[in-house]
Amino acid sequence: MSSPRVRGLVTALVGVPIGLVFLWLALRDADFDAVWRSLEEAEAGAVGLAVAAFGCVYAFQSVRWRKIASTPELRFARFYEMTVSGVAVNNVLPGRIGDLLRARWLGLAARMPAGRAFGTVVLDRACDLVVLVALLVIGIAAVATSEWLVRLPSHRRRTRRHPPRRAAPR
C-alpha cells in the first residue's frame, strides 16, 4: 500500500499533464476576442442572479439527497461538494459518470455499502425527473398559445425592426 504522499505525487504527475492536454483541446479553436466581447456585453446583475439561482438549486438538491441518504454524520457542506462536483463531471464527461462518482463518494464518506449509496443517487435523480415533468406540465399550460410571446418586451423590439413576413398570395 503506498502512502498518501506518493499517491498525491503520482496523481499530480499524471493528472496535471492530462488535464493540460484536455484544456488545450478545449481552448485551441476558441475565439477569445468573442469571449471577451460577450463578457463585456453581459449584464452583471443577470449573471449574478443566475449564479445565485444555480447555488440555490444545488443547495436544495444537496439537502434533499442528504435526507434520502439518511446520514446525519455527514455535514450539508459535504453533500453540497459532492453534488456540485458530480454536476461538473457530468458536464465534461459522457454517460452521467458524475452520478456514479457521487455514489462512490457517498459510500466512502459515510462508510455505506455501494449499492445503498447508488440507490440514494438513483432516488435523488428520480426526484429531479418528477420536478422536471411537473415544471414541464406547468410550462406547457402557461404557454399553450403564442399570445405570451407578444407580451415579451424583447419580442416587441424585434418585431418593430423586422416586421413579420407575409406569405405570398397563391
What digits encode the pLDDT tens for the residues 18-73? 888 888 888 889 899 998 998 888 888 999 999 999 999 999 999 999 999 999 89
How many of the other CB atoms lie within 10 Å of CB of 9? 12
| Helices then strands, each counted (H, E), the chain | 8, 0
CA separation, residue 137 to residues 107, 125, 146 (Å): 35, 18, 16
Q: Measured between alpha carbons, how far is 71 from 161 in angstroms, rounded to an integer?
A: 58
> In which residue are the cell numbers 446520514 written?
71
| pLDDT tens for each residue of 112-169 | 999 999 999 999 999 999 999 999 999 888 887 777 777 777 655 555 555 555 665 6
